[in-house]
Amino acid sequence: MHDAMASSSLEYERITFVLRPRRGPRRVILDAVSGRAAAAQTTALMGPSGSGKTTLIHALAGTLRSRVPAELSGAVRVDGEPAGARRRCAVVGQEDALFPLFTVRETLTLCAALTRRGEDPDRVAEATLRRLGLAKVAETRVGDPSEPLLRGVSGGERRRLSIGCELIASRGGVVLLDEPTSSLDAYQALSVARSLSGLARESRVAVLLSVHQPRAEICLLLDELQLLSRGRVVYSGPFAAAEPWFAALGHAVPPRFNAMDFLLDVLAVDDGGEGSRARRRLPTSLGGAAARRSRGAARRRRRSGPRGRARAGSSRCAGSRIARSSASRGRPSSSSP
Ligand SMILES: Nc1ncnc2c1ncn2[C@@H]1O[C@H](COP(=O)(O)OP(=O)(O)OP(=O)(O)O)[C@@H](O)[C@H]1O
Ligand SMILES: [Mg+2]
């Protein structure tokens, strides 16, 4: 879309986030999470509720805040360089904050005028409209979904507009999104996922998104997968390889089950999730014998190449250290997970 976005990638190493309340025990939210989001690829971050997806996204974007005293450490590199003011990731949260009376084009043009000095706002807006498939609704008012008299663009278009605004404002070549498809119907969720996958491929940016229970067509758009459980990496590798990887550990997806639903159930057991189908179905969880097999398999994979848990421990980058962070200063924030 713009030059700054040419071929960008993200690598992170041993991201650790620990809450240290003044009273009570410390709590590890992210435990040495390492991974990468490659240029031109869409990487999904998945895991049971509370596994740390939102926390990781904000840690990578540098927008993590905590009311409780906390420590953040680890290394983040964008395009091989330490992440910082010049090389930061665009982050799109779950809430869309847009002016209902503006049109889609006006929204993007205003955003470009406010954030992209020295560039023609109309040109930036036009490029963004085309890139995110919003040209058809360029002159439609954004609207407010909670106001029947202010009906505007659809939920999926609204979400894509938010993504466009953040892309313009951040100039980032790496896009991080926290559940961009949640609260959308199946069709709109698919349209957002298609836009993101197209953005990754055509602009050669890295897209990392957290996602809950994606439908099969969305899964086909995802290149890589990182699975978290209790703040730890359980699997990191090609999306399509996750199912056979779990099968090799004794967790084969039963016939006619949605593979991702099943795998998340397996992790929910590991998380101590209650009432899960998997709890009744599986004699062991990844916390027990399967975990030992998992670690053995990871060691073998580490020796032979591709990843399972192996990537979690690899030291791929030695980039910018997130110092004992601003999170520990206890700043209140709306972006706190
Ligand atoms: N600043 C904080 N203060 C207290 N608890 C926190 C803080 N940050 C994260 N947590 C806790 O860390 C865990 C991970 O939270 P996070 O929101 O990252 O999970 P998630 O995987 O995004 O879950 P969901 O799928 O429900 O969105 C949760 O148990 C959450 O309550
Ligand atoms: Mg979350």
The residue among 257, 160, 188, 175 whose CA lies nearest residue 216 is 257
Predicted pLDDT at 248: 92
C-alpha 52 – ligand 2 centre gap (Å): 7
Predicted pLDDT at 91: 83
Q: Whose CA is nearest to atom 27 of ligand 1?
A: 49
State the ligand closest to the CA atom of 273: 1
Q: How far apart, in whole angstroms, are the C-alpha atoms of residue 81 and residue 9?
A: 10
Could you tell me if the CB of 66 is within 6 A of ligand 1?
A: yes
Two structure tokens written together for 228: 């978290």
Which atom of ligand 1 is nearest the CA belonging to 67?
A: 1
Asked if 41 contacts 223 with a C-beta cutoff of 8 angstroms, the reply is yes
Q: Whose CA is nearest to atom 25 of ligand 1?
A: 49
Specify the pTM.
0.77
Could you tell me if the CB of 52 is within 6 A of ligand 1?
A: yes
Predicted pLDDT at 169: 79
**For a pocket test of ligand 1, which of 20, 26, 54 has the largest count of ligand atoms closer than 8 A to its C-beta?**
54
Predicted pLDDT at 26: 93
State how beta strands 42-46 and 224-229 pair.
parallel
- Give every CB contact of residue 76 below 8 A, 6+ residues apart in sequence: 10, 11, 12, 13, 15, 59, 60, 62, 82, 83, 319, 320, 322
Predicted pLDDT at 85: 61
Predicted pLDDT at 7: 57
Predicted pLDDT at 275: 40
Could you tell me if the CB of 229 is within 6 A of ligand 1?
A: no
C-alpha 228 – ligand 1 centre gap (Å): 12
Predicted pLDDT at 93: 75
State how beta strands 10-19 and 27-37 pair.
antiparallel
Could you tell me if the CB of 60 is within 6 A of ligand 1?
A: no
Could you tell me if the CB of 226 is within 6 A of ligand 1?
A: no
Helix, strand, coil content of the chain in percent (nearest 5): 40, 20, 40
Two structure tokens written together for 197: 């996958």
Q: Consecutive 10-residue runs of the chain (337 residues): their mean pLDDT?
A: 59 96 93 94 94 94 90 91 73 79 94 89 92 91 84 88 84 83 86 88 88 89 95 95 92 88 81 45 37 45 43 33 40 34
Could you tell me if the CB of 49 is within 6 A of ligand 1?
A: yes
Q: How far apart, in whole angstroms, are the C-alpha atoms of residue 220 and residue 125?
A: 30
Could you tell me if the CB of 50 is within 6 A of ligand 1?
A: yes
C-alpha 55 – ligand 1 centre gap (Å): 6
Which atom of ligand 1 is nearest the CA belonging to 66?
A: 1
C-alpha 268 – ligand 2 centre gap (Å): 15
Q: How far apart, in whole angstroms, are the C-alpha atoms of residue 103 and residue 89?
A: 26
State the ligand closest to the CA atom of 49: 1
